[in-house]
Every structure is written in structure tokens, then in C-alpha cells.
A and B are shown apart, each in its own frame.
Chain A
Amino acid sequence: MNARTQAWLWIGQRASAAVLALCVVVHLCTIIYAVRGGLTGAEILSRTRGNFGWLGFYTVFVLAVAVHAPIGLRAILTEWFAWRSPARDWALLAFAIGLAFMGLRAVFAVFT
């Protein structure tokens, strides 16, 4: 991987962190609002089913996580476990796709 791509990974991680900061605040506020008077699956689904606003919000949230987490993990694998071979990046790409797949699956599950 060349230095240009590595620089773009750094930019991607910082940009996704900015998105995540906003998403986490909205998510926490929603939790605090939602648990008033108890929390039930039916209550959550009544809010999310068919709601394109929440679908869009959590899709962005999941994609930001799928970008952010593998890049951070890449630094940990490099510095703490000295894993520097190209296999590391392929493994992390698979991890990113896995995160995005599982996250989006959950988002669509509460939408439909």
C-alpha cells in the first residue's frame, strides 16, 4: 500500500470520527428519550418501521463504524502485534465488509 493510500486512510478515519461523534450524541439522546417509562421491542419497532429518517441515520452510522474501526484496528495490529504484511489489510477489508453487512442487516431488520 502506497503512502497516498495510507494518507487517505488517515483522512477517512478522522472524517468518520467526526460523523461518529454526531451519531453517538443523537443515538444517546434517543436512548434517554426512548427509555422513559420502560423500553420494549414493540416501542422501538413502532418508531423505526417504515421511517426513512432513522433508516438513513443508522445507515450512515453503520458505514462510519465500518470505515473507522478497521483503520484503528490496523494501527493496533501494526504497533502491538507487528503484523505489517498485505494479508493484514485484506483481513481488515473483510472485517470492514463484515461490520457493514451485519450493521446494515440490523438496520433493515428494524425498518421492514
Chain B
Amino acid sequence: MSPLRVRIWRGAETGNFSEYEVPREESQTVLDVVTYVQRKLDPSLAYRFACRVGMCGSCAMTVNGVSRWTCRTHVAKVADDNKLEIGPLHNLPVIRDLVTDMREFFNKWAKAKGQFTGSRTRHEEFERVAPESAERQQVDAGIECIGCGVCYSSCDVVSWNPEYLGPAALNRAWTLEQDVRDAAKGERLRAVAGDAGCHSCHTHMSCTERCPKQISPTAGIAGLKRAVLKAALKGEL
């Protein structure tokens, strides 16, 4: 197999792509390519990874312009004529090379009231949630988010409106709104309504198309719009 020609972003907000030649391997992932460059060609290259098996959500980058989890993206699937262009995620400040500042991304989870608020104490019985109930199934559909930022990086609305909470935070809010144990539903709906929240979504569905965990934040955001509508009509918003 002929070697890969790889262009990797070097710098911060300003910088340029540097070109490297990387040997092609069987079952090679994009993360393998970046790791090869850092270990064999240029130790100053900055990038993030941890688990290497699609659990931690730390290795997301753009590959040939598309945001992806690199540890589970095979080169064979994405290389264009044996060429790869690897850059940092979009819509986030670049710290260095392939490392972005994820603070705003996670701060928005907090703004969307992304934390569970229970109503029982340790002295009470566990609340029982039937696995086949409609609410639990909705939670199941969205709960596997690993916080990689691929949806946030792919979202046009985030790039147009920096206040927009983004697909991941809204998906998190939706799973909590469907959690029958949660006691902060009204407060959370107020936090996710309006210009910065679910009502700004244009339903482009880039988040749903790109989510490596096959979650549909678009469906969750639509659910939030319905929930806000019901609350508004009842005068509870």
C-alpha cells in the first residue's frame, strides 16, 4: 500500500496545515495516523485521546472537513485518493494544533440544566422506572452521549449564533425531561426555551447525521419544542 499524504493543522486560531507522509497499515484508524505523526515525525504535535475504543469522547477532530471520532474512524473509509486533512473541531476555540477548548461546550450543558435533580432521600425506596415505559425508551434513545463535541462542531446554528446551547446540551436536557424521577422539569424547560435554546434549531440534522453514537439530538430538540409548547399553553412556562 502506498503511504498516506496527511495534512495536519498546526497553530491555534491562526496557523497552517503541515504535510506528513505516514505508512499505510491494515485496519488503520485516523487516531493511529495522528499518533504515528506525534511519536515518529513531530513530537510537538498536540492532540487529545484517552480510551481509543469510542467511550471517552476525547479524540474528536475534523477529517477531510467532517467532524468525526478518530479512534473509530478507519482511514480506508475516509481517505480521499490516499490523502487526509486533519484539523481541530469547528465552533470551538483552538488551543493548539488539534486541541480545542471545550469549556464553552460543557458550560452550555450546565446552562441547559443538564444535571439530574432528585426528590428522594437515601432513606426512601428507590423509584421504579419500567424499562418498557415510553419515557424510559426516550431516555434510552439519547442517553449514550459521550460528550465528544462532534454534533456541536457540525451544527450550523452554533456557528451563526454563539449563544445557542447546541445539540449535545439540548439532548441531555431532553433525556432529563423524560426522566420520571427528575424534579426540575419546569426550570429546565425555561432554560432551554427561546433564542439560545431549542427554538433556534433549524432541523438541518447535521448533528443526527454525524453523531458517532447514532443519537438523534434533532428528535430530542423537537421533543423539547413540544414540551415547551404544552407548558406555554398551560401557562407553566
A residues neighboring B (CB under 8 Å): 1-11, 75, 78-80
Asked if B18 CB lies within 8 Å of chain A CBs, one says: no
Asked if B228 CB lies within 8 Å of chain A CBs, one says: yes
Cβ–Cβ contact A11 & B232, under 8 A: yes
Cβ–Cβ contact A6 & B195, under 8 A: yes
Residue contacts A-B, CB under 8 angstroms, 22 given? A1-B195, A2-B194, A3-B190, A3-B191, A3-B194, A3-B196, A3-B197, A4-B190, A4-B232, A5-B194, A6-B193, A7-B193, A7-B229, A7-B232, A7-B237, A8-B232, A9-B199, A11-B229, A11-B232, A75-B200, A78-B195, A79-B161
List A contacts of B172 (CB < 8 A): none
Cβ–Cβ contact A79 & B197, under 8 A: no
The chain B residue sitting closest to A76, CB to CB, is B160
* Interchain CA distance A80-B200 in the complex, whole Å: 13
**Number of B positions contacting A (CB below 8 A):** 17
* Interchain CA distance A11-B230 in the complex, whole Å: 11
Asked if B225 CB lies within 8 Å of chain A CBs, one says: yes
- A4 interface neighbour in B193, B196, B225, Cβ under 8 Å: B193
Give A38 Cβ to nearest chain B Cβ, in Å. 43
List A contacts of B8 (CB < 8 A): none
List B contacts of A7 (CB < 8 A): 193-194, 199, 228-229, 232, 237
- B237 interface neighbour in A1, A4, A78, A80, Cβ under 8 Å: A4
The chain A residue sitting closest to B156, CB to CB, is A79
* Interchain CA distance A5-B193 in the complex, whole Å: 9
* Interchain CA distance A6-B228 in the complex, whole Å: 11
Cβ–Cβ contact A6 & B229, under 8 A: no
Interface hub of B161, B191, B199 (most chain A Cβ within 10 A): B199
Known A3-B190, A4-B193, A78-B195; judge A10-B160 contact (CB<8 A).
no
- B225 interface neighbour in A3, A6, A10, Cβ under 8 Å: A10
* Interchain CA distance A4-B228 in the complex, whole Å: 9
The chain B residue sitting closest to A2, CB to CB, is B194
